[in-house]
Amino acid sequence: MNPISVIGAFIMTLAFLAYGIGSVTLERFRIVGNIVLIFMSLGILFETAAIVLMILGKEHGGDVLHVWTGSVSFFLFIVNATWVWLHYLRNGIDAAVGKSLVNYTKTAFFIWVVAYLAGIVLLIWL
């Protein structure tokens, strides 16, 4: 595997950790606090950097299913982070969130984890 792709995969793991901390904190405390804002934003930054590195280090055509699920999950988290930031801007820090945001965050994180694990399986097998 290309070293640039390996660095991208490592950074994607940082995105996984950031999304996980942000999502679990949002679900657990049901407020948009500093931790949620910081880690959701870091997740987007880490994933963007990882995607760019993996595209640059791509040695052959990617698996269509992984590219599709990864693209959908990235879009879902962009929507999620945007929703969290809009909630913060409208309601202030530590504002309680509704059930719809919590459920969306859970769903987006689950889909993201499926795409992440699919990438790991492809990395091992290819």
Write the pLDDT tens digit of every residue in 21-70.
Answer: 999 999 999 999 999 999 999 999 999 999 999 889 887 766 787 788 88
Structurally, what CATH architecture does the domain formed by 3-125 represent? Answer: Up-down Bundle (1.20)
Q: Using pLDDT thresholds of 50, 70 and 90, give the confidence band for residue 103.
A: very high
Which residue ranges make up each domain of the chain?
Answer: 3-125
The CA distances from residue 71 to 26, 48, 78, 104, in Å, are: 23, 11, 11, 17
**CA torsion, points 92, 94, 98, 99, in degrees to nearest 10?**
150
- CA separation for the pair 109, 54 (Å, rounded): 21
